Amino acid sequence: WELSALHCSFYNFCECGFRPNLNALECELARSVFGQHLACDLVVKAVKQFVETDSPTKPLVLSFHGWTGSGKTFLSSLLVKHLYKDGTRNPHVHYFSPILHFAHAQNVELYKEDLRQWIQGNLTQCSRSVFVFEEMDKMHPGIIDVLVPFLGPSWVVYGTNYRKAIFIFISNAGGDVINQVALDFWRDRKDREEIQLRHLQSAISIAVMSTPEHGFWKSQIMNQSLIDVIVPFLPLRPSHIRQCIQKEAEQQELEYEEDTVQSILNNLVYFPEDEKVFSSTGCKTVSSRVSYFL
Ligand SMILES: Nc1ncnc2c1ncn2[C@@H]1O[C@H](COP(=O)(O)OP(=O)(O)OP(=O)(O)O)[C@@H](O)[C@H]1O
């Protein structure tokens, strides 16, 4: 008890169960997230820097981009797991999905007001809240702009210390350009681990800004550069899918033969059609296939 109290007063961040364990995060990402060296590095660095600052000047805003099934939602849940004592069960982690929460275009004004109040209310209760916005490329543009006052360094939101919050935006936008860069590296026989943010960042921003269905389209969030880190997720190679299959089989406590793993791999779709370099669905359908095949 004493040690934990000391830790809390020293770091000043045990409020609302916020107990980041970033070494554990780093280990779990290295062990469980396959083929995403760039995303893992960027997230760990950004979060470390953020939580080690007593009074951050703005909230941490991360934007995850990449092909389906590449691990965007998975990584965000591992991050949350290691930020709070009770992980994803912590009530100060809030998930938003356009289909669930903002389904009807005619209600945009209502959604905006509800969202603004929800964020403000929750930040008043707990400044160390995390807000995760899924499928940003299906969000009606405009809704997300109500977040602008909460994301920047210079606004004051009365009664809240909004600067300690973490916002994560997830979308497939930019997936095509990320895939193209990864494919070019593969064709040039360059190591995938050589891909750096500078190879992708501006192309992703351009892709997002030119997608009218994206929640960031014409948004002040992009125009005012309120995103701290753009986090690209690379398309997964068959070797990564193999790792996902093995992990899933182990989790389900199923015995597996190499032949069966190969059959699952053979049953997936890869692109480009002639070269079959990357999985079209990433690891997304692996869990159900493992249950079916093993
Ligand atoms: N890079 C990865 N390493 C390990 N497991 C992965 C990876 N990518 C995906 N998975 C597995 O596949 C499941 C689905 O992935 P996830 O939901 O994170 O994909 P996503 O990128 O968010 O896809 P979408 O864009 O369709 O929402 C995860 O729960 C995880 O088990």
pLDDT, tens digit (0-9, with 9 covering 90-100), for 126-149:
889 999 999 988 888 788 888 888
Helix (H), strand (E) counts: the chain? 13, 7
**Gap between the Cα atoms of 102 and 143, Å rounded:** 9
pLDDT band at residue 4 under the 50/70/90 scheme: very low
Measured from the Cα of 67, ligand 1's closest atom is 25
Query: Taking residues 40-44, what's their average pLDDT?
Result: 98
pLDDT tens-digit readout, 158-205: 656 788 999 999 999 999 999 999 999 999 999 999 999 999 999 999
- 148 near 220, Cβ under 8 Å? yes
State whether the beta carbon of 69 lies less than 6 angstroms from ligand 1. Answer: yes
Most informative mutation of 284, 286, 291 for ligand 1 (most atoms within 8 A of CB): 284
DSSP state of 237: P
**Gap between the Cα atoms of 159 and 120, Å rounded:** 9
Measured from the Cα of 175, ligand 1's closest atom is 25
Q: Is 117 helix (H, G, I), strand (E, B) or coil?
A: helix
pTM: 0.92
Distance 69 CA to ligand 1 centre (A): 4
**Looking at residue 1, what is its pLDDT?**
41
Q: Which of 11, 169, 18, 12 is nearest to 83 (CA)?
A: 18
Distance 244 CA to ligand 1 centre (A): 9
Residue 287 is inside which H or E element, if any? helix 286-293
Measure CA of the first residue to CA of the last residue in the chain; give whole Å. Answer: 46
pLDDT band at residue 105 under the 50/70/90 scheme: confident
Q: 196: how many CB neighbours lie within 10 A of its CB?
A: 12
As given in the structure block, the two tokens for residue 90 are 């912590």
What angle do the packed helices 175-187 and 201-209 form, to 10 degrees? 150
State whether the beta carbon of 77 lies less than 6 angstroms from ligand 1. Answer: no
pLDDT at residue 97 tops 70: yes
Query: Taking residues 258-271, what's their average pLDDT?
Result: 92
Measured from the Cα of 236, ligand 1's closest atom is 1
**Looking at residue 154, what is its pLDDT?**
64
The CA distances from residue 27 to 32, 208, 243, in Å, are 9, 31, 17
**Looking at residue 76, what is its pLDDT?**
97
**Looking at residue 155, what is its pLDDT?**
58
Measured from the Cα of 35, ligand 1's closest atom is 1
Of all protein residues, whose CA lies closest to atom 29 belonging to ligand 1? 74
Residue 118, C-beta contacts closer than 8 angstroms, at least 6 positions apart: 94
Q: Is 108 helix (H, G, I), strand (E, B) or coil?
A: helix
State whether the beta carbon of 36 lies less than 6 angstroms from ligand 1. Answer: yes
At 93, give phi and psi (nearest 5°).
-105, 125
Greater pLDDT, 291 or 21: 21
Greater pLDDT, 40 or 86: 40
Greater pLDDT, 26 or 99: 26
Query: Taking residues 29-45, what's their average pLDDT?
Result: 98
**Looking at residue 293, what is its pLDDT?**
67
**Gap between the Cα atoms of 193 and 37, Å rounded:** 7
pLDDT tens-digit readout, 225-235: 899 999 999 99
pLDDT tens-digit readout, 6-25: 555 554 456 788 999 999 99
Greater pLDDT, 54 or 281: 281
**Looking at residue 103, what is its pLDDT?**
84
Query: Taking residues 36-64, what's their average pLDDT?
Result: 94
**Looking at residue 74, what is its pLDDT?**
97
